[in-house]
Every structure is written in structure tokens, then in C-alpha cells.
Structure 1
């Protein structure tokens, strides 16, 4: 089989359960890693350089934009975030699979630049269900919660940009579906260069 790694691009509105599903997939496979983004945001107390993010100042980030070092980048809540080309390419070329967690805007940028990648969109069963999950977190002000819900209404309309949609009503079922996608994408016939190399056929 093709020994290059595969890129899995995962998007979801806040509260859809994307992080929990991705973390479970990461625990399941040793050869799967999270993509590490570059950001101008200051590191939090528990965040580690090179593990959680690559932290840079704004001038460095803007220089990286000029040098075309990002697959995609965006400004979020006043901070800049980007997916570094070099990191992704080196991992994939070494055979490591990458899980990239980005919003639909970033996913669209990626799709316009790359001819590969598996795009998965995770959604809650309903907007009401999504609101209940966000309220149960007790981490959002009413203003921020309403903003997230309005953003969710816009984001779900990009579903056709994705190869797969998972409705996260039940975590176990949703994870089984995500796992099935991961397995199936490693069994594609187009990734087989020569069947003779697999079966030792005599020709």
C-alpha cells in the first residue's frame, strides 16, 4: 500500500463533540497525530511549545504569510492561527497520519490548494441539542453562546464541502462511524501501486 500518511480534516460547530471524538481516535491509533498550528496567541499555563501550538509573534506570523508557509490561516478573536505546510508535509511523507481540526473557512482554503485529504463534518442532532450542550458547559456568557449558535447555523450550510457527515447523537455510534471512515480510507484501491508487491504474484 501507499506508505504516505493521510490527512483527515475535521470540522464541527462548537458543542458538536468534535474534540472528544478526535481524542478517542487519537487514543486508538499510534500512527495518528494532531496537526500543530502556529498562533500569535499567548500560551496558557498548561500549553507546551511544539506540542499544543507553535507560538510566534505577529511580525513572524505575517512574514510566514508572505513566504507562503501556510496551507491555510485565519484571524480568530483577534489572534492569528495557521496550518504550517512544512510540518504537515514532513509528517505525511514519513507515513504519519494527520488529524487537522479546523473551521469550515479553513477547510475550504485547504480544499482549494490540496488535491488530497479526507473531509469529515460532525454535527449535533439539532440546534436545540447543540444549545443544551453549550449551556451545560457553563463556560460561555449568554452573548458568546448566542454568537456560537449563530455561527453554527452558518457553518452547517457548508456540509457539501465534506466527504462525510457524522451526526453525534450517541457518542459510541458517532465514534464507530468516525473509526469506520478512518479504516475505509486506508483500504482504497487507488493507494495500491502494484498488486504483485502485496500478493507476491508470479508474472
Structure 2
């Protein structure tokens, strides 16, 4: 029995059926709310964990090494990329980002879900490498004015970076048809509820329930 199935059984969520984990991808243009949404999903569900990316950018105020990101220099990043240690990688605003392969593969094999706060480039690469495991959610802002306001109020980036992110938003948004689900983030509580509903539904897909055949055989033999 996987740890995930055991947790479901103990909490009364149904029979303990072994399940393969999934890769839950949340993408959006900067400022649309994907990071807030991702954190709320993590806080609400103990069976999903955050994928910690590696990046060459400098830490922002309050960010912690190996918690928010694995901060590395460019030489180490290139070693990981060239050594096939990354499931995906991309260059964003002059910095590199990537997803370490080993912890992700270990998690989904044990029935644990992994959440990704990544852009469309990373989503494409993950979808190509692990097509049966990914669930892709794209988050849209309710309007361009709201997106600009959110970027300005974050107070973490200088005005020139805000302008660059706004300029890139239209291109990023153009990739929404590549995703399985789209959430327009007008209200955070509604968006979180939608994200959790998507997670619940995807966990119930027959293809992911590796122990379902055994469960059904035992059920039939008891009838």
C-alpha cells in the first residue's frame, strides 16, 4: 500500500487503493496569482508537496535556500542541465530555472502528488517527458489593469522589471490553450476552491489508480 493510499484510508476518505502520484502544474503571467494559489493548495491538502526549483537568480527578501528555491550559480546549473538531472529548464528574465528530476520521480512513484509553480516553457517540457502524469492549470488575471496593479503592489521588483513583465504577459497568456484547465483569478477563495476540485477529480482518474484492479477482484470475490 502506498503512503498516499494509507493516508486516505486513515482519514476516512475511502478504501485504500494504491495510486500513482500526479504532477500538478500551475502557470500564469507574473502577477496573476499562481504563487498565492499554489501556497493555498499546499496548505489545504497534506498529500501534495511543492517541487523546489533550482535557479540562478538571487534570493528575494524572505526567501530561504532549499525552501523557496535551490539557489545555485550558473556553472552548477549547467552541470545539472547537461547531466540530465533536470526534468525541465528555462531562461526567464536573464535567469535560469529548472526542476530536479530525482525527488519528483520518487514522489509520484510512492503515490505523492507534486505541485509546480512554473511557466509555459516548463509545462511543455514536463508534458513531453511525463505526459500521463501531468495536470496543467493556467491562471488568468481578470483584466490587464488588475495585473499591473498586482505587480506594482508586490513591491519586490523595480519599475523597469514591472514594465518588462507587463510586456511579456500577452505572449505568456497566448499559451493558455495548451492547458487542461483555466482559472480566471477574480476572487482568491473561489480560485482556490476550483484548484482543489481539479486536484480531487484528477486523483480519481482510473488510469492513476494502480491498485484498482486488485480492489475490484477482491470486491467481486466477496460477493
Q: Same fold (TM over 0.5)?
A: yes
1:96 aligned residue: 112
Equivalent pairs, count = 203
Residue 145 (structure 1) shift: 2.0
Contact map agreement 2:21 2:208 (CA 8 A) in 1: no
* One of 29, 40, 48 as aligned partner of 1:32: 48
Q: 1:42 to 1:169 in 2, by over 3 A?
A: closer
- Runs of 5+ in structure 1 lacking a partner? none
Residue 150 (structure 1) shift: 1.4
Whole-angstrom distance in 2 between the partners of 1:176 and 1:94: 26
2:98 matches 1:82: yes
Whole-angstrom distance in 1 between the partners of 2:120 and 2:33: 16
1:197 aligned residue: 215
Q: 1:41 to 1:146 in 2, by over 3 A?
A: closer
Whole-angstrom distance in 2 between the partners of 1:55 and 1:139: 18
Q: What is the SS of the residue equivalent to 1:51?
A: coil
The correspondence of residues 1-203 of structure 1 with structure 2, limited to 5 A, is 1-43=17-59, 46-115=62-131, 116-193=133-210, 194-195=212-213, 197-198=215-216, 200-202=219-221
Whole-angstrom distance in 2 between the partners of 1:18 and 1:86: 24
Residue 95 (structure 1) shift: 1.8
Q: What is the SS of the residue equivalent to 1:36?
A: coil
User: Deviations for 1:157-187, whole angstroms, at most 9, x for unmatched residues?
Assistant: 1011100000011111111111110111111
- Runs of 5+ in structure 2 lacking a partner? 1-16
Residue 13 (structure 1) shift: 1.0
**Worse-superposed segment, 144-153 or 6-15:** 144-153
Q: 1:145 to 1:54 in 2, by over 3 A?
A: closer
Q: 1:29 to 1:153 in 2, by over 3 A?
A: same
Whole-angstrom distance in 1 between the partners of 2:60 and 2:220: 56
User: Deviations for 1:48-103, whole angstroms, at most 9, x for unmatched residues?
Assistant: 43322223332222122221111111223433221111121011112211001101
- TM value normalised by structure 2: 0.82
Q: What is the SS of the residue equivalent to 1:201?
A: helix
